[in-house]
């Protein structure tokens, strides 16, 4: 089973990944369900420690899968938002759309009783939605306020190699270190629905929140099937169902 892909399947799966990191027990003021199925949050060792003891292999759980190390709570602040994937406003620099993203740790509530430490873009899980038009010039000013290195990879976008964010392995850029800012700039291409995510310590950072959505809408030059639909002799069903004037 590809654990990483499974965890990326959707918000519900992400919530499982977040819960499994076992950080709630170390939060300053957590509200933790004491008897959630599959969890032992009553001051027990972290999943990695207990799993290692069970198998005799450091970091390995009974399933044979690697257990994530605890997410550091250093610098984490209470989340000020409750919903991820909200459209991210931008400013214009000429014709370039300029977005700002900051990686930071927050205490994120994943259900009525459980709060975990999440590593986020702009304080939400998932991070904000970046929505542009195919062909737009896009600049993302990215600041790392985590205590660990990170980066952003623009999954599915055809960007120059030095803007592709692959920082581990160090293929296209050096990791963005804590306190550093890195500016990504590229032309949105192709149109479609994509994601962006960390490309440093991905098995941990993506699972605990450093991912979000992006979309590049087809430009006006993109052929559109709606033209053919509009030229039909009979209107679509939805139009026919409208009340007709007498
Ligand atoms: Cu990716």
pLDDT digits (tens, 9 = 90+) for 172-200: 999 999 999 999 999 999 999 999 999 99
Q: Rounded to 5 degrees, what angle do the CA atoms 54, 57, 61 make? A: 50
Distances (CA, A) of 182 to 12, 38, 151: 31, 40, 9
Residue 196: closest CA among 244, 125, 127, 139 = 127
13 found inside a domain: yes
CA of 153 relative to ligand 1 center, distance in Å: 6
Q: Are 127 and 119 in contact (CB under 8 A)?
A: no
CA of 238 relative to ligand 1 center, distance in Å: 38
Q: Are 128 and 121 in contact (CB under 8 A)?
A: yes
pLDDT at 69 (0 to 100): 73
pLDDT at 139 (0 to 100): 98
pLDDT at 206 (0 to 100): 96
Q: Are 124 and 84 in contact (CB under 8 A)?
A: yes
CA of 166 relative to ligand 1 center, distance in Å: 10
pLDDT at 157 (0 to 100): 97
CA of 171 relative to ligand 1 center, distance in Å: 14
Please give the residue that has the higher pLDDT: either 167 or 33. 167
**pLDDT over 80 (residue 142):** yes
Residue 29 to residue 88: CA distance in whole angstroms: 30
For residue 57, give its domain range: 3-217
pLDDT at 219 (0 to 100): 78
pLDDT at 61 (0 to 100): 55
CATH number of the domain that residue 75 is part of: 2.60.40.420
User: What are 34's two structure tokens?
Assistant: 């004491």
**For residue 60, what pLDDT band results from cuts at 50, 70 and 90?**
low
Q: Report the predicted TM-score, pTM, of the whole model to 2 decimal places.
A: 0.66
CA of 127 relative to ligand 1 center, distance in Å: 14
CA of 31 relative to ligand 1 center, distance in Å: 33
CA of 199 relative to ligand 1 center, distance in Å: 8
**For residue 66, what pLDDT band results from cuts at 50, 70 and 90?**
low
CA of 63 relative to ligand 1 center, distance in Å: 25
CA of 167 relative to ligand 1 center, distance in Å: 12
232 found inside a domain: no
Q: Are 52 and 58 in contact (CB under 8 A)?
A: yes
Count of the separate structural domains present in the chain: 1
Least confident range of 134-143, 144-153, 225-234: 225-234
234 found inside a domain: no
Distances (CA, A) of 34 to 38, 40, 100, 138, 192: 11, 7, 38, 45, 42
pLDDT at 220 (0 to 100): 59
205 found inside a domain: yes
pLDDT at 151 (0 to 100): 98
First to last CA, the chain: 62
188 found inside a domain: yes
Mean pLDDT (the chain) is 74
CA of 30 relative to ligand 1 center, distance in Å: 32
Please give the residue that has the higher pLDDT: either 170 or 61. 170
CA of 188 relative to ligand 1 center, distance in Å: 16
CA of 43 relative to ligand 1 center, distance in Å: 35
**For residue 221, what pLDDT band results from cuts at 50, 70 and 90?**
low
37 found inside a domain: yes
194 found inside a domain: yes
Residue 182: closest CA among 155, 149, 156, 230 = 149
CA of 183 relative to ligand 1 center, distance in Å: 19
User: What are 151's two structure tokens?
Assistant: 């980066």
Q: Are 172 and 219 in contact (CB under 8 A)?
A: no
240 found inside a domain: no
Question: How many C-beta atoms surround the C-beta of residue 12 within 10 A?
Answer: 8
């Amino acid at each position: 089973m590809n654990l990483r892909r499974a965890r990326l399947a959707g918000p519900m799966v992400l919530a499982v990944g977040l819960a499994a990191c076992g950080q709630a027990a170390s939060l300053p003021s957590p509200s933790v369900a004491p008897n959630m199925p599959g969890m032992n949050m009553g001051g027990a060792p972290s999943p990695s420690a207990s799993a290692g003891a069970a198998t005799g292999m450091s970091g390995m759980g009974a399933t044979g899968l690697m257990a994530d190390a605890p997410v550091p709570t250093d610098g984490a602040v209470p989340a000020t938002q409750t919903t991820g994937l909200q459209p991210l406003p931008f400013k214009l620099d000429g014709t370039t759309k300029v977005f700002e993203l900051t990686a930071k740790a927050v205490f994120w509530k994943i259900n009525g009783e459980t709060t975990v430490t999440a590593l986020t873009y702009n304080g939400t899980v998932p991070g904000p939605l970046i929505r542009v038009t195919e062909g737009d010039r896009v600049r993302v000013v990215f600041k790392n306020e985590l205590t660990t290195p990170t980066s952003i990879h623009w999954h599915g976008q055809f960007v120059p190699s030095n803007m592709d964010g692959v920082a581990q392995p160090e293929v296209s850029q050096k990791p963005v270190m804590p306190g550093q800012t890195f500016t990504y700039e590229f032309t949105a291409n192709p149109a479609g629905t994509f994601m962006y995510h960390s490309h440093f310590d991905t098995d941990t950072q993506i699972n605990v929140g450093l991912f979000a959505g992006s979309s590049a809408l087809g430009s006006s030059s993109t052929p559109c099937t709606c033209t053919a639909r509009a030229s039909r002799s009979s209107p679509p069903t939805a139009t026919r169902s409208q009340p007709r004037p007498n």
